[in-house]
Amino acid sequence: MMFGQQQWDLRPDIMSFAKGITSGYMQLGGIQISDEIREVMDSAETADMWMHGFTYSGHAAACAVGIKNLEIIARDNLVANAQLMGERLLAGLQKLLEFPCVGDVRGRGLICGVEIVKDKGSKEVDLAKTTAIQNAALARGLRTRAVGNTLAFAPPLVINAEEVDKIVDILGATIDAIG
Amino acid sequence: MTHATLDHATVVEMDKKQLHPVYHPSIHKDPLVVERGEGVWIYSADGRKILDGMAGLWNVNVGYGNEELPRVAYDQMRNLAYTSNFSGMTNPPSAELASILAGMAHPSLNTTFFTSGGSESNDSAFKTARYFWYRKGKKDKIKFISRRAGYHGITVAATAATGIPRYHTMFGPLAPGFIHIAHPLVYRYPGDITPGETVGQAAARARRGDSAGRPGYRRRLHCRTDSGRGRCHCATRRLLPPGPRNLRPL
Ligand SMILES: Cc1ncc(COP(=O)(O)O)c(C=O)c1O
């Protein structure tokens, strides 16, 4: 599934998107609107026209990159790879639950989060340790991001099994060293 | 001058004139100077090779160092990098991308409006929702409901939608019309969740006072959903599943 919302039985009226549409090679985002909303725009008097838009809406070069990016994601089966590698990453990170400071490990697709706590029972957040692990992991060659007390993982969809294992190994060694 | 030839110290020195997003000097003393990337790897100006477990900011899907994307960018920029796209004008790539995206995410989503990022997209969504109800004669239908702990961006409206108090404190007053409700993080839910049940279903059961629910949760749930007041149980942002099944009844 290409879109997160497709994992549930939703009927969106408006959907925001950005980020991965160009893989970051150009700046691009947007919204998609339902036919019902479109119809309301098409039937408006000019006094009530939709007075909204940006200088860079529909930027030609950004859109050209977006087209190619979607083509690459489909051609190289990156959605399927993300699912496969995501399962491997989640399974690997779940092994870290044996550390006293790892309170929760969760994930969906190729996005995972590892919550760092002071105590598994009280679930009290440990912001200082989360930042310490983030910085120590970087020194060991792994970039993660402390989002509150959660270490976030969302690697490129082209990641392979060996690289997924590397994430788990480096994070495990980092937590082991920090204690 | 190619930027790749600048050494670490030179970049760090020049960088002192730049203000970075979510800035505090204590976290920018010794910035990682990223010079190039290849696949999942980024390479720093001081010679380090780092696995980017965050794909930049969750977005470098096809990985770094792709050669096809810059080629289409080059060709398009030579032809036409940019011109106005306001009503009355269009260009081939934006028209083609809109036609590719039509129906791709959902059969009902056939029209695309382009922005340059997520905050702009969310502001566009808020204004479009209000526009819809304005046109339907319901001008007072202006409220937005979002989750506590959810991040929606940093424009004035997206900041108000964001359910993380840290983003609000120093920028008040918030844009009006944004209401925050409880988030669906299973790990942080204080009540009992029976197998196969979502957090929302468990919370609803607790409110009904069914035996499996925790009686005290009703009060806590109220204070969580009481926008802006009461004690917030999620002062820090966490990674949450969206749990839209919980949103349905709204
Ligand atoms: C869920 C979500 N919404 C909105 C945004 C804001 O997007 P941008 O930073 O492109 O304005 C982000 C960015 O992190 C996001 O993750």
Tell me, what CATH number does B217's domain have?
A: 3.40.640.10
Residue type (1 letter), B232: C
Q: Are residues B176 and B242 in the same domain?
A: yes
Q: Which residue has the higher pLDDT, B218 or A173?
A: A173
Q: Are A63 and B114 inside 8 Å of each other by CB?
A: yes
Coil vs helix vs strand at B23? coil
Are B43 and B49 a contacting pair, CB within 8 Å?
yes
Residue to test with chain B: of A22, A41, A57, most B Cβ within 10 A: A57
**Helices then strands, each counted (H, E), chain B:** 9, 6
Could B75 and A22 be called an inter-chain contact, meaning their C-beta atoms sit closer than 8 Å?
no
Summarize pLDDT for B58-112 with one digit per residue, the tens: 999 999 999 999 999 999 999 999 999 999 999 999 999 999 999 999 999 999 9
Peptide bond into B173 cis (omega under 30): yes
Q: Do residues A172 and A133 both lie within one domain?
A: yes
Domain boundary among A14, A48, A75: A75
Number of domains chain B is built from: 2
Residues B222, B144: one domain? yes
Provide the mean pLDDT of chain B.
85
| Confidence at residue B242, expressed as pLDDT on a 0 to 100 scale | 47
Verify that A83 and A71 share a domain, yes or no: no
Looking at residues B168-174, what average pLDDT do you find?
95
Indicate whether B15 belongs to any domain: yes
- B78 part of a folded domain: no
Range of the domain at B203: 118-246
B 110-129 residues inside an 8 A Cβ radius of A: 110-118, 120-122, 124-125, 127-129
Q: Are residues B9 and B128 in the same domain?
A: no
Whether residue A118 sits in one domain with residue A34: no
Q: Is residue B124 included in any domain, yes or no?
A: yes
Task: Tell me what ipTM this predicted complex has.
Answer: 0.97
| pLDDT higher than 60, residue B243 | no
- B186 with B123, same domain: the answer is yes
Q: Which domain holds residue A84?
A: 79-178
Q: Which of A42, A143, A171 is best to mutate for the B interface (most B CBs within 10 A)?
A: A143
Kindly report the backbone phi and psi dihedral angles of residue A21, in degrees, each rounded to the nearest multiple of 5, phi listed first. Answer: -60, -30
Instruction: Please give the angle made by the CA atoms of A131, A132 and A135, to the nearest 5 degrees.
Output: 85
Could you tell me if A94 and A41 lie in one domain? no
Cβ–Cβ under 8 Å, residues A54 and A31: no
Of the residues A51, A75, A99, the one at which a domain ends: A75
* Ligand 1 atom with the shortest distance to the CA of B122: 4
- Please give the C-alpha separations between residue A52 and each of A56, B117, B118, B243, B246, in angstroms, as whole numbers: 12, 15, 16, 31, 32
Query: Does one domain contain both A9 and A85?
Result: no
